[in-house]
Amino acid sequence: MFGRVEQVEHLSPHMIRVVLGGDGLADFTPSPWTDSYVNAYFLPPGATYTVPFDVDATRALPVAQRPRSRRYTVRHWDPERRQLSIDFVVHGDTGVAGPWAEAARPGDVLQINRPAGSYAPDPDADWHLMIGDESALPAIAASLTHVPTGKPVYVVAEVDGPADELSLVSPGDLHVSWLHRDANPGTNDLALQALDKLDRLPGRVQAFVHGEAVVNRALRKHLLVDWKLPREALSVSPYWRRTFTDESWRVIKRDWLHEVEQDA
């Protein structure tokens, strides 16, 4: 399936929202998960095929001619307008998806697959903890809207600076801590420091920790070992890894995840 760009909105210096619509989304069915994501397919320069195309058929092409697949969170699905909103992190001409979003204009098309996911706020949890960087903000923002009314929810969000802070809302009792990398150059444990300072509430917590791989690994170990959380209370996903391209990260990701499992 595919969507046609209907609107492009700059949410911050490094976040762009692209709203897709059109008949190509006629079969789109949302998943029950709040971290729901789609695989988006970006055509390489000089591609001899156009959207929509057969993804399986492109696997027979030389590597340089295949579409680049990237996972992106379903930030919002409007069933009445049948519009799909996806928020893209952009850093100039770095990467594949960011430059596409930066250049996107109404009428452009983007091919996606059906959404999948694995996390949603547990209504029976006593409180919620969500930690992530820019890459996780769309999933955090979508998840916050499903926290039960009045239920405590704490968000620790790491971004470059104040201009990258986004408006986060929830029916829950929301507490947000923004961490700024620009004010702490060379520091890679801002989120872990913030977690150390967080007053842990009584009762059962459900934690969502997504974003950069090395940061996630340290947070995961802290929550499992020091907080003694049961594994089923923790959702962890390393979306990316610092100094690695998406392709090079995919090559080692499975082995990395195996190593992480040995931590705790």
pLDDT 10s digits, 80-105:
999 999 999 998 888 899 999 999 99
Note whether 106 and 7 are within 8 A (CB): yes
Torsions phi, psi for 216 (to 5 deg) = -60, -40
User: In this predicted structure, what is the pLDDT of residue 150?
Assistant: 98
**C-alpha torsion angle, residues 232, 233, 239, 244 (rounded to 10):** -80
Neighbours of 229 (CB within 10 A): 19
**pLDDT category of residue 187 using cuts at 50, 70 and 90:** confident
- Whole-prediction pTM value? 0.95
User: In this predicted structure, what is the pLDDT of residue 16?
Assistant: 98
Average per-residue pLDDT in the chain? 95
User: In this predicted structure, what is the pLDDT of residue 188?
Assistant: 83
Q: Whose structure tokens read 């098309």?
A: 109
Note whether 8 and 106 are within 8 A (CB): yes
- Of the ranges 57-66, 154-163, 205-214, 237-246, which one carries the lowest mean pLDDT score? 237-246
User: In this predicted structure, what is the pLDDT of residue 186?
Assistant: 76
Note whether 22 and 60 are within 8 A (CB): no
Is 90 exceeded by the pLDDT of residue 153?
yes
Span 159-168, average pLDDT: 97
Neighbours of 256 (CB within 10 A): 17
Cα dist from 50 to 5, 22, 55, 65, 158, whole Å: 15, 17, 11, 12, 37
What is the three-class DSSP state of 122? coil
**pLDDT category of residue 184 using cuts at 50, 70 and 90:** confident
Note whether 4 and 21 are within 8 A (CB): yes
Give the span between the Cα atoms of 127 and 25, in whole angstroms. Answer: 36
Span 234-249, average pLDDT: 91
- The total number of residues shown for the chain amounts to 264
Q: Whose structure tokens read 């923004």?
A: 178
What digits encode the pLDDT tens for the residues 26-59? 999 999 999 999 999 999 999 999 999 999 999 9
Note whether 155 and 67 are within 8 A (CB): no
Note whether 52 and 111 are within 8 A (CB): yes
Q: Whose structure tokens read 């209370």?
A: 233
Q: Two tokens at 60?
A: 């027979």
User: In this predicted structure, what is the pLDDT of residue 137?
Assistant: 97
Query: How big is the CA angle at 13 (ends 83 and 118), to the nearest 5 degrees?
Result: 50
Span 185-204, average pLDDT: 91
Neighbours of 118 (CB within 10 A): 11
Give the span between the Cα atoms of 221 and 227, in whole angstroms. Answer: 9
Note whether 33 and 58 are within 8 A (CB): no
Sheet with 234-240, edge to edge strand ranges: 173-180, 152-159, 127-133, 205-212, 234-240
Is 90 exceeded by the pLDDT of residue 15?
yes
User: In this predicted structure, what is the pLDDT of residue 199?
Assistant: 87
What digits encode the pLDDT tens for the residues 118-142? 999 999 999 999 999 999 999 999 9
User: In this predicted structure, what is the pLDDT of residue 93?
Assistant: 84
User: In this predicted structure, what is the pLDDT of residue 226?
Assistant: 94
Sheet with 2-12, edge to edge strand ranges: 68-73, 37-42, 109-112, 2-12, 15-21, 83-89, 76-78
Q: Whose structure tokens read 């055509």?
A: 43
**pLDDT category of residue 247 using cuts at 50, 70 and 90:** confident
User: In this predicted structure, what is the pLDDT of residue 72?
Assistant: 96
